[in-house]
Every structure is written in C-alpha cells, then in structure tokens.
C-alpha cells in the first residue's frame, strides 16, 4: 500500500469545527437529510434547511427522481442558487446526506460538501442545535438543461452489461444480504424483494468499511487499501455501486468519486429492490 496518500478532493469534506465557524457565511447553505425524516424537527444545526429524500427528491408516482423544473423550484425556495455551496449532513453516518448530494449532482449542482461525521458527531460534541427553521428569501434557480443520468447513474441494463462484461460491481450491502441469507437488514422491514443474493461478479465491500466508528471517513491510505488494492480497481475502469435502494451505494459513490478520485463511477439506485424482483435477472449466492 502507498504511504501518506491524500484525498483526491479534500475540499469536499468539512469538519465540525470548520462548520461551527461558518454557520452564517454568505453563499453557504447547510442541508440536513436523514433516513428519519422527523429527526430534523427535534433539533438541527442552526441555519440548516431540511430536504426530505423521499418527498423532495423523488417523483411521487414513477420510481424516479424529480424533474429539472421541480429541482429548480426546490432549490429556489431554500434560497439556493447554482453558485451556492451546499454542505450536506445527516444521520446514519451520512447515508442520506450523500444520497441528497448525489441527487444534487444529478442536476449539475457541483458546489457540494459533506460534514465529516454527520449529525451524530455534531451532537456528541455538544454543538448547538435549534428547532427554529431558517427563513430564506426565495431566489431564482435556473432550470437545469438536463439530468445527468448517463454520467453518474446506472440502470438495470447497464448493471447487467457491467456484470456480463466482468467490469467492477461493488455491492455495499451487509454480508448477509450479499450471500442471500437475508433480503434486508435485520432492523429494516422486508420491502417485497422476492430473491436474495447478489449480481454475478459483484464484490462485497460493505459501505461501513469506509468509515471509523464515529462515522468519519477513513484515511486515503486505508480507502486505497480497501478499494484500489482490495478490489483491483484502476482509474480507467467504469465502476458501478449498488445496495438496496441506492442510499448506501451513494455513500460509496462519494468515497470512490471524491476521496479516491475515480472518474467514472455510477450509482445503480434501482439496486436490489429492482434486481431481486426482475424476471430472469441472474443471481449468485454465496
């Protein structure tokens, strides 16, 4: 393993100390996005706005994300412009924060950062929380010309081609889900997946291997060992990550894209809830 590696894009991570000193910085918006959508109302970082990963970012009927027009409206009502730097944080070691960040990237918003350690680290350090919702003047956010699905998102047929061509597939779920022993995490409800297992050829690298116990990201050296050396990845490859519905794999997408600097990583957000229910989809168990 190489020694003393640095993150490819260290600027995308901010510490709790840094954020505490920049809460009122013009041109910066703090965005909380949690699995528990009620958590924000119990107390949040001062100035943070809440983006509900389901209600705000997903189409209410079709299994897809919102339109560019809806994204522009969402940003505008929160006082976000294309130039605004958005700092994302949330529960579950930033699963849903990186999911929201990935969704913002789908619409071409590139001024994004993550609070290292997320909500839990902020709270454990005794930093201030408030129940007061910020009042942000609405602004005009231009409708993005497109959604960048082809660049950072994979669909079923593309994941299938990745498998058939023996290109890198990273399954970030738990070992039990990967083996087919279970179809969901123990603390989660069964979501109607008919088959367990993994996509043929996928490597099992649970998302939590990328973080320490406090939810902060591991060093570049450690991440290099886990992904570059452990999975044999190289910069010229197309890489697809997946999980159950795309939230844990967005965390791994963030690690591979921003911390390790891989240039062609896509998140298969249909993930196992699509693959495990698709007629004739090939499945491996181990």
Domains in the chain, ordered, with CATH?
10-147 (3.40.250.10), 150-275 (3.40.250.10)
pLDDT at 145: 96
Residue whose structure tokens are 């027009």: 69
pLDDT at 193: 87
Q: What is the pLDDT of residues 231-267, one digit of tens each?
A: 999 998 999 999 999 999 999 999 999 999 999 999 9
Residues of the chain with pLDDT under 50: 1-2
Note the pTM of the prediction, 2 decimals.
0.96
pLDDT at 1: 40
Residues taking part in catalysis = 243
pLDDT at 2: 47
Cα distances from 185 to residues 37, 39, 175, 217, 244, in angstroms, run: 19, 21, 10, 22, 9
The structure tokens listed for 85 are 């730097």
Q: What is the pLDDT of residues 52-81, one digit of tens each?
A: 999 999 999 999 999 999 999 999 999 999
Average pLDDT, the chain: 95
pLDDT at 5: 86
Strand partners, 58: 65
Q: What are the residue ranges of helices labelled H in 135-185?
A: 149-152, 156-164, 175-179
Is residue 86 within 8 Å of 238, Cβ to Cβ? no
């Amino acid at each position: 393993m190489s020694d003393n590696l640095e993150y490819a894009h260290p600027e995308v991570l901010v510490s709790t100390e840094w954020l505490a000193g920049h809460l009122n910085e013009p041109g910066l918006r703090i965005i909380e996005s949690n699995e528990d959508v009620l958590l924000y109302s119990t107390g949040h970082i001062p100035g943070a706005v809440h983006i509900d990963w389901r209600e705000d970012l997903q189409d209410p009927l079709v299994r897809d994300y919102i339109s560019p027009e809806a994204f522009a409206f969402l940003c505008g009502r929160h006082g976000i412009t294309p130039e605004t730097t958005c700092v994302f944080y949330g529960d579950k070691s930033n699963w849903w924060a990186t999911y929201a960040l990935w969704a913002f990237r789908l619409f071409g918003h590139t001024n994004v950062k993550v609070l290292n350690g997320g909500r839990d680290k902020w709270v454990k350090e005794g930093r201030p929380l408030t129940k007061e919702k910020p009042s942000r003047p609405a602004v005009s956010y231009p409708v993005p010309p497109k959604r960048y699905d082809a660049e950072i998102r994979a669909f079923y047929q593309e994941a299938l081609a990745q498998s058939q061509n023996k290109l890198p597939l990273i399954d970030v779920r738990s070992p039990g889900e990967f083996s087919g022993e279970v179809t969901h995490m123990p603390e989660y409800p069964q979501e109607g997946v008919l088959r367990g297992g993994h996509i043929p050829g996928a490597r099992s690298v649970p998302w939590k291997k990328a973080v320490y116990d406090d939810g902060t990201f591991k060093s570049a050296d450690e991440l290099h060992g886990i992904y570059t050396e452990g999975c044999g990845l190289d910069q010229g490859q197309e890489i697809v990550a997946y999980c159950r519905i795309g939230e844990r794999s967005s965390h791994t997408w963030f690690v591979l894209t921003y911390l390790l600097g891989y240039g062609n990583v896509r998140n298969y957000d249909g993930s196992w809830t699509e693959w495990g229910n698709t007629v004739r989809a090939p499945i491996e168990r181990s």
